[in-house]
Every structure is written in structure tokens, then in C-alpha cells.
Structure 1
Amino acid sequence: MRSIARAATAVGAAALIVGGLSAAPASAADGRTCVSNQHPTLDVWTGRGCFVGNGDDIEATDLYADGQRTVVDWYTDYGREGECDNALGTGWTVTCDYDMTETGRIKFRVCARSGGINRDCTDWTGWISIRTGEAA
């Protein structure tokens, strides 16, 4: 099941991460870990991905009007993998709802996708608890 919500782009991107393509994840007390990717030549954030422990949700937010989509690739320590793909455009968040094993852990990264090719990906996050949404 996917739900769609309008994202607050400038505030969300600025508040989350400082850095470039290898931005470290920001973790909040609400069980949400987020990372953002940056355009390789411009000083702008292009996308944001979040894992939300309460609900096993992956969020993909497009932050920049560049004609590319934001994709969040993910995998677990028990063999599941997938992606959450946002093709709706700038300012939109796509929430992908997965039923994951609460005792497991997840890693994810955020990429811009153009023509089926992932570009400007962040590094993979460290392990995150699926139950809490925080570093594990």
C-alpha cells in the first residue's frame, strides 16, 4: 500500500543532514532515520529517504526539480530487499508500507534515477533496528 503526502522541501532537507553524497543518517526520537543526497555539481539536496520503525515504512521525497525521480534502495539482515520509488515530482513524498520482521535490521540508501540508472547515491546507512527505527 502506498500513500502520498505533500512534503515541506526546504525545511526538511536543511534540518536533516549536513554533507554530501555520503551523508550520515539523522535519527530522531520518533523512530525515523533519514538521509539526503546532494546534486554532484550544484549545492542542492535532490532527494530524501527515511525509514520509519513504527509501521515499517520507507519514505522517498523528491526535493529538487531536475527531471529525475528519488529512489530508496533497502535490504535487511534476513534477506529481504526492495526499493521505494517516487516518480511524482518535486515536493512529493511517497510512502511504501512493508511488513518486516521486528527483530530484523535494515540498511538503505537514497539515489536519483534517470533513465533506469541510479545516480548520486548516498552511502548505505549503518544497520537500523526495524522495531525502533534507530541505529542498531
Structure 2
Amino acid sequence: MLRFAAAVVTFALVTLGGAAVTATPAAAAGSPPAGCRYFTTDFGQTCYEWEGDDQWVRDLDANGWTTVVEVETNYGKFRECDAPASADGWRECGYDHEEKKCVRFRLVERKGVSTNRISVWSLFYSTSTGNECGFDA
């Protein structure tokens, strides 16, 4: 299937404290497909692949902290995916989101239970089309 590249959007960072939550299992991966919805900060990057419900994440700052993507749906699910350590490529986490719902994400830097940098939340995107949600996903 032909995929269209999504624009990379850089969001402002907000420095906040936060509580750590256990991470979900993830598989090592090559790189995300062209049709992903990218979300980038100066310390990490994530990509939502709506076809397959995969969330990709990578650490861009080998500073001893791990970049984690937090994934939240509009139907009450919250998940996390840790990037490989030391800015060492992409990790792909497979989810099974409900269709015709919405998902958003943000990046967090963690070391153990400590939190360093936290990004703002992305927009909500449809789990069925990958387009921005108007809550009529």
C-alpha cells in the first residue's frame, strides 16, 4: 500500500516532574515506515504508525537518561515504550488500539524512577486513519 510521508513537527518542551510507570514490552526494530506521524523534541522522537497500531521511539541524546513515549487513548488506555539506551536506534512497540478512536503521545526522559525532561502532548490522531482527530475518528 502506498504511504504518504508525514511532516515532522517539533513541539516546545515543558520541564515538569512526573511519576514513573512500568514500561510495556518492546521489540528492537529497524526504522519506522514513511507514513508515520512523527513527534520530535531535542531529546527524543516518536512515530505513530496507525496502520498496525505501532508506536516507534528513539533517544536522540546519549546523556544517560532513557527516552520513553507515553501513549494515551481517548478511551482510557495508557501505555509506555522505552527507547533503546544511549541513542542507539529505534524501538517498535505493537499495540492493538480500538478502531475509530483517538490516540496521543508525549516524550519523557527517565532514569529509574526519576524524570528529567517532559514534552507537551501531541495532537490526538485517529486509530483508523492516522489523521488528526476531530473526535469523530
Q: 1:16 aligns with which of 3, 8, 14?
A: 8
- Say if 1:71 and 1:112, in contact at 8 Å, map to a contact too: yes
Task: Indicate the residue corresponding to 1:112 in structure 2.
Answer: 109
- 1:35 aligns with one of 39, 43, 52: 39
1:17-55 Cα distance to aligned partner (Å, 9 max, x none): 345316xxxxxx82x222122xxxxxxx21111111011
Distance 1:114 1:128, change over 3 A: same
Q: Could you report, residue by residue, the CA deviation over 1:104-135 in whole angstroms, capped at 9, with x for unpaired residues?
A: 10011011112322321111112110112221
2:81 is equivalent to residue 77 of structure 1 = no
CA distance in 2, matches of 1:83, 1:122: 14
CA distance in 1 between partners of 2:51 and 2:66 (Å): 25
Regions of 4+ moved over 3 Å: 17-20
Which residue pairs with 1:68 in the alignment? 65
Measured on the aligned residues, the alpha-carbon RMSD in Å equals 2.0
Question: 8 Å contact 2:84–2:90 — kept in the other structure?
Answer: no
For residues 35 and 55 of structure 1, the distance between their equivalents in structure 2, rounded to whole angstroms, comes to: 18
Closer, same or farther: CA 91–131 of 1 in aligned 2, 3 Å: same
Structure 1 unpaired stretches of 5+: 1-14, 23-28, 38-44
* Percent of aligned pairs with the same amino acid: 31
TM-score, normalization by structure 1: 0.70
Answering whether residue 130 of structure 2 is matched by residue 126 of structure 1, we say no
The residue identity in structure 1 corresponding to 2:75 is Y
Q: Which has the higher strand share?
A: 1
Paired residue secondary structure (1:84): strand
TM-score, normalised with respect to structure 2 = 0.70
Length, aligned pairs only = 108
Higher helix share: 1
Return 84-93 or 126-135, whichever deviates more: 84-93
